[in-house]
Amino acid sequence: MNTAILAEKYRPSTLADIRGQEDATRALSLFLSAPASTAFIFEGGTGTGKTSAALALARDLGVDVDQKEFGGLHEISSGEQTAATVRELMANLRHWPMTGSGWRVAIVNEADAVTQGAAYTWLDVLESLPERCVVIFTTNEVSKMPARWRDRCEVVHFASSYRLLRDEANRFLAEIWHKETGGTEQPTIDDLSGVVEDDEVSFRRLLQKLQPYVRAGKAPEPVAAATAAAKRAWETRRANKAK
């Protein structure tokens, strides 16, 4: 078993499968009740489910995600967002997909990494999206996106706070541990060093850090929890002093 397996095995398929993001999934579920051509910005910390939610929304719209562009799913990878790629994307979005419901979803990851030409191009194309078309930008730093661009999108926030996500993350971890090992020991996110950084929880890191313990069938030593908690308390004090 390698690091990628848990992350893929437990990737959400629909919005109902997204963990710990009730506000975001509620907003997107309301959109699904009366969908229309729209541009979204999914913003929040790393590993909080932004791309997974984008793919889940596409599936809930009837996009044949497995068939990629033939099924209505289009993507611009991180670091490849230029004026040319944006124009090519918009040209492709005007073609009806071969499979799926007819909806087309474009996902642009790390959207704040954009050339000036691409940013200006988006200002134009977002004013007149094709019928049955949704564009989803994901970003960890929405403030880096030009205000005029943000104003053309509906912003959906994905929470990353340890205080808000701790209980749900622990429930998720316990479910995975039981399914994968059948063990009664119940590790917590505080037992997995690195899952919480700067008081923020990453579900992606949770799965990555859990992987070797699942492989070994042995829960992490409890001492890791005390070490992680002490480190987090120190980081919180340091952050408070810096304010």
Host H or E run for residue 76: strand 73-76
Instruction: Please write the tens of the pLDDT for every residue from 82-124.
Output: 999 999 999 999 999 999 999 999 999 999 988 889 999 999 9
DSSP string covering 188-212: -GGGSTTSEETTEE-HHHHHHHHHH
Mean pLDDT of 236-243: 61
Per-residue pLDDT of 56-87, as tens digits, reads: 999 999 999 999 999 999 999 877 889 999 99
CA distance 157 to 135: 16
Output helix, strand, coil percentages for the chain, rounded to the nearest 5: 50, 15, 35
* pLDDT confidence band for 129 (50 / 70 / 90): very high
Q: Where are the alpha helices (DSSP H) in 39-161?
A: 50-60, 83-93, 116-125, 147-150
Mean pLDDT, rounded, for 9-37: 95
pLDDT at 226 over 70: no
Confidence check: pLDDT of 152 > 80: yes
Confidence bin at 237 (pLDDT 50/70/90): low
Q: How many CA atoms lie within 13 A of 92 on its CB side?
A: 21
Tens digit of pLDDT for each residue in 41-52?
Answer: 999 999 999 999
pLDDT of the residue at 2 = 44
CB-based burial label for 121 (10 Å; 0-12, 13-18, 19+):
buried
The span from the CA of 53 to the CA of 59, in Å, is 10
Per-residue model confidence (pLDDT) at position 66: 95
For residue 1, what pLDDT band results from cuts at 50, 70 and 90? Answer: very low
Q: How is domain 11-158 classified at the architecture level of CATH? A: 3-Layer(aba) Sandwich (3.40)
**DSSP-derived secondary structure letter, 126:** T
Please tell me the pTM assigned to this model. 0.86
Q: Where are the domains of the chain?
A: 11-158, 162-242
Strand, helix or coil for residue 78: coil
Evaluate if residue 145 carries a pLDDT over 50: yes
Average pLDDT over residues 17-36: 96
